[in-house]
Structure 1
């Protein structure tokens, strides 16, 4: 059997591709085990990985948690294993982009919500269908979805189990960007280039601040920023010198 999660590294970006296209990338324990290994390795590679993209092979991002596995009785290596993998993906020091085309249902949406940014194609389809199957979230839906779209919209999605298009996801703030299907890969490439061109040190420091202060009152968050900021990066002087030299040439 081939790898269930493929990794490709290019110019500082590590792309993780869910690779069960014949099963619409349905999420099973074996896939999460491979994803876990990739996440652990990437977390230790901040010197050569500045950005992570998670996407799906074939027709979609993922149809969600494999219902066949649920019915058969899954045997994860430890309790809350899948939720822990998603949490570690969300807490990677590098920015994470969830690139969603096609289906992104329930467990797959919980996985996508681990991304700092969600990029959607117009044909993307988002839904939380826990209630359709008499299930309740255990991978983070009840916490990450309201923080992304607001409590009223999260209630709507969770209670109705409706499907939302890429454009609707963008309008509600679930997706940061939605583009026509034909422009999906080009938009990802452009976004990747823009992010990687900035300081990887700043990205890690800014993400750490955002994660640590999420949900804090404003005063507490401001205090944290002042006391815990990581300050100047090792590439600051080089970046300013390059900008100054470029400006001098123009003048």
Structure 2
């Protein structure tokens, strides 16, 4: 593989931005791109300097999905499992993850975005699951993450019609957290990032962990899990929390 990296990483102010970098292919994912993405995600897992991750695409598009012109892997199922596990690792990062979407966010690209905690898009964004157009079924989490994001009926509508949805439609159905004019997208993501990074990284990570760990649990089970698996105060902010702890003690 020659030329420019297929994933660009830029770090600033505690934010790691990973950019899918095949703009001439609308950032379609091939194995080389995915290997580089995997390496960056694994590096971020242990990078204490990073408090938040932004995933985006170079040029006018987020990601057109899997590159169907790529030759199949010799162990197709094994490689698919590796890809799925890396997207699950992205979701499970202690750092919050924002997908910043312009243009196409189709099929595998949508599965990439759904692996993030937040999706913020521009008005140019178009979201679609086109597995059905190619006689394919999901392998990167579409059938699991999309219904959890938008509800079963809307997910089935997207999956069975294969039609594209605008950024405004995505925000209305809860797929995207926000949709703004494209020229305001960077500022909107920066605003959300600043709000998140203004809070305790410990709290952010533990809140995220508890939400994902209890997904699908009955309320009584989830409440018990929250109590018994509670990580307590952020040690770095213990003094700030001492008045609260004192107020809770019996008089």
TM-score, normalised to structure 2, is 0.92
Aligned counterparts of 1:170 and 1:76: Cα–Cα separation in 2: 38
Matched, 1:74 2:73: yes
3-state SS of 1:61 partner: coil
| Cα deviation digits, residues 192-216 of structure 1 (max 9, x gap) | 1111111101011111111110111
Runs of 4+, deviation exceeding 6 Å: none
Whether 1:57 aligns to 2:61 is: no
The equivalent of 1:11 in structure 2 is 13
Cα distance in 1 for residues equivalent to 2:180 and 2:203 = 27
Check conservation: 1:26, 1:66, Cα contact below 8 A. yes
Q: CA 1:239/1:56 → structure 2, altered by over 3 Å: closer, same or farther?
A: farther
Per-residue CA shift, 1:160-180, capped at 9, x if unaligned? 001000000000000011111
Counterpart Cα distance in 2 of 1:52 and 1:128: 24
The count of aligned residue pairs is 238
Q: Equivalents in 1 of 2:75, 2:198: separation in Å?
A: 39
Residue deviations 1:28-72 (CA, integer Å, cap 9, x gap): 111110010111110111x21110000000011011110111xx3
**Larger CA deviation: 155-164 vs 182-191:** 182-191
Please report the TM-score for the alignment, with normalisation by the length of structure 1.
Answer: 0.92
Q: Runs of 5+ in structure 1 lacking a partner?
A: 242-251
The alpha-carbon distance between structure 1 residues 112 and 75, as it changes in their structure 2 partners (threshold 3 A), is: farther
Hey, what's the Cα distance between the residues in 1 that align with 2:175 and 2:160?
17
Structure 1 Cα separation of the partners of residues 89 and 241 of structure 2: 34
Instruction: Name the CA distance, whole Å, in 1 between partners of 2:233 and 2:240.
Output: 11
Q: 1:153 aligned to 2:154?
A: yes
Task: Structure 2 unaligned segments of length 5 or more: list them.
Answer: 243-251
Cα RMSD (Å) of the superposition? 1.4
- Determine if contact 1:110/1:140 at 8 Å carries over to the other structure: yes
